[in-house]
């Protein structure tokens, strides 16, 4: 009987110890505190005596938190033990000039790692000798943010928020080999966490504008998948357990939760687990699934050895305000056995998401009979979300746009003098030109007077911009208008062809006349030398010289310039010679 009672007391003692160790599931840094929560959002404890906490990690083997406390000038890294009584806030590294974004501890080697995005580096220190800090890895184009360590498989993962090339990277702790496992489709990755059981990696990414998303992939960066894609949040810390994904939202000061295998859309199923007065940042989940994982056998053995050597357990947390966790529906939702029955305009597991939040850009939001949001736009805006300004590129031809709720488009154009119409798209000059040229039916809204000076008057006074009677000088018959007439066009073509033929004939005649002109004289005539009187005939063939027609002219024999008579061209060379000699002997007949 005594033996049975002893066994029963031992079982109760072990159960109490497990209850004390596992009475919290989540830890989050909020300003100067680390708050401990259950998976349902109940606060079960909180630390004190810090300035402004940010990054956070947890040593599952030694049951201690490690957090960075940032004052006005520098950072200090503290360890907060759950298994030591007394002074449990122990500074590890002090007076760091950096803004620490991420922390991770390797329980097998007892080495702590932290990121320094400002100096593009990851640092490390051994908890056995915290006086010696080292630069674990230095980068040129990396800005490491958060850290997650896979002690089972010996990898250190981190998010790189470098603007030009954001990525998800990992480093082999044994060889320090660095590799990029995800480098596309990222904007500003921040938080990162490891699911040891499923062997998956999770990270949060603040997208452009109001968008954010949480993605997952294998530990090698394969089989990438978007888990959550939504708006109006800015995630910072990220944690996972066997069933849920948790993340801190520094825009709304909230801690969010969603099932990992949620079957709905990527924007549904998530709900705020807890709202805080201060901004929540660092986040960790206590149960990471080491037990039963073959790769993590070394860690489990180390955990058992450490727990056997430690006989007492103390929780150095202040008593929290008693909170009664009840199933509560927001926004007048009604609690049912399966969840909340939400009123029209609200969705979510607790009716916490208003459909009208930031839905209408320039208008008032209401709901249809089926509960869908509907916008009533302000004057000057249209579209399903009142996102279109009616005056954007509405008035043409330099018209001035004004908002008018009476008009069908909600806009009214004041046109310049030469244009009219609801958008100033009608050119008044073109209408009267066509009317006066073709004598068509006179336009209803415009009165045209087809004279040398055409008078235009707009008759319809309901137009957006009635024009005053004015005189517009328009040529009655321009060349372009005449060419539009088929008869005139045919006559013009005939005249052009005739002109071309005449030009060709004229060129031909000129060439013929030029061919009948005086040819150039290149003849050479042999005459006697040393005979002064030109009337003498040559005496002998030994006293001959050459003389050309040009030389004859230069000798001033004749009073008029020499020329070759036209008939010389028809004679032979012998006849030409005789004629020239005869003319030289009888100069009176030539001059």
Instruction: Give this prediction's pTM.
Output: 0.54
pLDDT at 16: 34
From residue 21, alpha-carbon distances to 61, 309, 313, 481 in Å are 12, 16, 8, 98
Half-sphere exposure of 27 (CA within 13 A, CB side): 28
pLDDT at 484: 61
Strand arrangement of the beta sheet that strand 189-195 belongs to: 189-195, 200-206, 211-218, 225-231
Q: How far apart are CA 62 and CA 542, in angstroms?
A: 144
From residue 480, alpha-carbon distances to 433, 437, 461 in Å are 12, 12, 34
Non-local CB neighbours of 384 within 8 Å, separated by 6+ positions? 375
Burial of 398 (0-12, 13-18, 19+ CB in 10 A): exposed
SS (H, E, C) 515-556: HCCCCCCCCEEEEECCCCCCCCCCCCCCCEEEEEHHHHHHCC
369-406 tens-digit pLDDT: 667 788 888 888 888 888 888 888 888 888 888 876 55
Stretches where the chain sits below pLDDT 50 are 1-22, 85-87, 311-316, 319, 321-325, 452-454, 457, 459-477, 521, 529, 531, 534-536, 543, 556-560, 563, 567-569, 590-591
Half-sphere exposure of 6 (CA within 13 A, CB side): 3
Residue 214: strand, helix, or coil: strand
Residue 479: strand, helix, or coil: helix
Q: How far apart are CA 246 and CA 258, in angstroms?
A: 7
In which region does residue 516 sit, left (phi positive, over 0), alpha (psi from -120 to 50) or beta (all else)? alpha
pLDDT at 178: 96
pLDDT at 116: 92
From residue 352, alpha-carbon distances to 288, 341, 355, 478 in Å are 29, 11, 10, 74
pLDDT at 4: 42
DSSP 8-state symbol, 504: H
């Amino acid at each position: 009987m005594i033996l049975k009672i002893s066994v029963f007391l031992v079982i109760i003692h072990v159960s109490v110890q497990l209850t004390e160790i596992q009475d919290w599931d989540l830890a989050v840094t909020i300003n100067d505190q680390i708050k401990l929560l259950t998976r349902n959002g109940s606060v079960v404890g909180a630390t004190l005596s810090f300035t402004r906490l940010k990054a956070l990690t947890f040593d599952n083997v030694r049951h201690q938190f490690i957090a960075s406390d940032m004052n006005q000038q520098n950072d200090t890294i503290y360890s907060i033990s759950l298994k030591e009584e007394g002074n449990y806030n122990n500074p590890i590294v002090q007076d760091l000039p950096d803004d620490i974004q991420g922390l991770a501890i390797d329980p097998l080697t007892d080495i702590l790692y932290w990121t320094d995005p400002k100096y593009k580096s990851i640092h490390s220190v051994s908890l056995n000798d915290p006086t010696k800090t080292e630069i674990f890895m230095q980068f040129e184009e990396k800005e490491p943010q958060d850290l997650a360590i896979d002690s089972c498989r010996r990898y250190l993962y981190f998010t790189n928020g470098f603007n030009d090339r954001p990525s998800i990277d990992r480093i082999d702790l044994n060889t320090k080999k660095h590799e990029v496992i995800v480098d596309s489709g990222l904007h500003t990755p921040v938080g990162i966490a490891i699911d040891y059981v499923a062997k998956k990696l999770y990270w949060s990414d603040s997208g452009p504008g109001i968008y954010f998303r949480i993605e997952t992939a294998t530990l090698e960066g394969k089989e990438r998948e978007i888990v959550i894609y939504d708006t109006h949040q800015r995630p910072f810390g990220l944690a996972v357990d066997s069933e849920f994904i948790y993340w801190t939202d520094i825009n709304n000061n909230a801690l969010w939760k969603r099932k990992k295998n949620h079957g709905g859309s990527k924007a549904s199923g998530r709900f705020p687990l807890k709202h805080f007065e201060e901004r929540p940042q660092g986040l960790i989940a206590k149960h990471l699934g080491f037990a039963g994982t073959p790769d993590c056998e070394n860690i489990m053995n180390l955990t058992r050895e450490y727990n056997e050597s430690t006989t007492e357990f103390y929780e150095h947390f202040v008593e929290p305000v008693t909170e009664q966790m009840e199933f509560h529906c927001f926004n007048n939702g009604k609690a049912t056995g399966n969840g909340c029955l939400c009123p029209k305009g609200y969705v979510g597991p607790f009716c916490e998401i208003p459909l009208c939040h930031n839905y209408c850009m320039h208008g008032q939001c209401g709901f249809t009979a089926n509960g869908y949001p509907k916008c009533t736009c302000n004057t000057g805006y249209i579209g399903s979300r009142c996102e279109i300004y009616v005056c954007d590129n509405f008035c043409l031809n330099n018209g001035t746009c004004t908002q008018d709720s009476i008009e069908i488009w909600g806009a009214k154009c004041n046109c310049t003098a030469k244009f009219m119409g609801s958008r100033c798209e009608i050119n008044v000059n073109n209408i009267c030109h066509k009317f006066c040229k073709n004598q068509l039916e006179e336009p209803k809204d415009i009165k045209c007077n087809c004279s040398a000076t055409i008078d235009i008057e707009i008759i319809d006074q309901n137009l957006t911009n009635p024009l005053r009677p004015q005189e517009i000088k328009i040529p009655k018959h321009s060349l372009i208008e005449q060419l539009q007439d088929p008869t005139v066009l045919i006559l013009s073509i005939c005249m052009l062809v005739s002109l071309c033929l005449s030009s060709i004939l004229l060129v031909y005649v000129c060439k013929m006349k030029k061919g009948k002109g005086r040819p150039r004289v290149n003849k050479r005539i042999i005459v006697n030398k040393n005979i002064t009187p030109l009337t003498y005939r040559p005496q002998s063939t030994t006293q001959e010289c050459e003389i050309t027609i040009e030389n004859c002219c230069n000798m001033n024999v004749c009073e008029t310039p020499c020329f070759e008579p036209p008939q010389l061209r028809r004679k032979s060379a012998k006849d030409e010679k005789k004629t020239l000699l005869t003319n030289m002997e009888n100069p009176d007949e030539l001059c």
